[in-house]
Structure 1
Amino acid sequence: MRFIIFAILLAFPFLEIAVLIELSQRYGWWVLVYLVIIGYLGLQLIRSEKDLMAARMFQQMGAGSNPVAAMFSTARNMFAGVLLLIPGVISDVLAVVLLLIPSRTPGVGATGNKHSAYGRASANDEVIEGEFTEVNDSKPADNVVHLPRKD
């Protein structure tokens, strides 16, 4: 098992270089533009995850749940950002697969079923619809029943 993992890790850079050489022979300098843009997107992903990490942790703690799930979600997204920074198409495909895996923890500001961002049920979780008619006190309507006030 260790040998298989070692062989994959050893073959990965050579495979990345072979794919980059093939693509650069086929598409020319557009591959360089692709690598620069993808590297920039990976850097932005790492920066945004770094900024959101504390907010996700506090959201999970405020909801009374375990913040470890938020840490794993952030770590997964940061690892995908590092994979985007590595020049190569295979690492970019792996990063996209990591980013497409759905997370169990909602993002910051996202709401779950009938819960607010803090995990508690909202005060007006049931909506009552209806119509109203404004009644002037000086001239009561025929179909309106006025109840006596308790002062």
Structure 2
Amino acid sequence: MTDITIYHNPACGTSRNTLALIRNSGVEPTVILYLETPPNREQLKALISAMGIDARALLRNNVEPYEKLGLAEERFSDEQLIEAMLNYPILINRPIVVSPLGTRLCRPSEAVLDILPDAQQGEFRKEDGEKVIDKQGNRIV
């Protein structure tokens, strides 16, 4: 069984689509509801490092704490942005998927296909009806 973890927000359509694509590959991932069980500092830094991004690239900018904290200003260091995400987990963009093939912020949801070791098992459509996988389990480009 492939070991995959998703940092998931069930209220997010992109996160739901990503989880469904993982399951469409025949894997039941470990689901971490990161708003209820946020990563600690070491875990968050490890995720950022594994994705090869900086903290700002993981920061959600369309939620209320972002504006309130003035996080659009470039004066904040990665450490300060990480601290903000730890204090306000809603600032962590999602979904983040960890697989044997890598760690990725899966926006759009089909980005998860690049790090899934197992093939898709059948047709898949996003919640909005967009067809992503054909009946043979092949990615539609």
For normalisation by structure 2, the TM-score amounts to: 0.26
Which is richer in helix?
1
Structure number with bigger Rg: 1
Q: Which fold has the larger relative contact order, with Cα–Cα distance below 8 Å and residues 6 or more apart in sequence?
A: 2
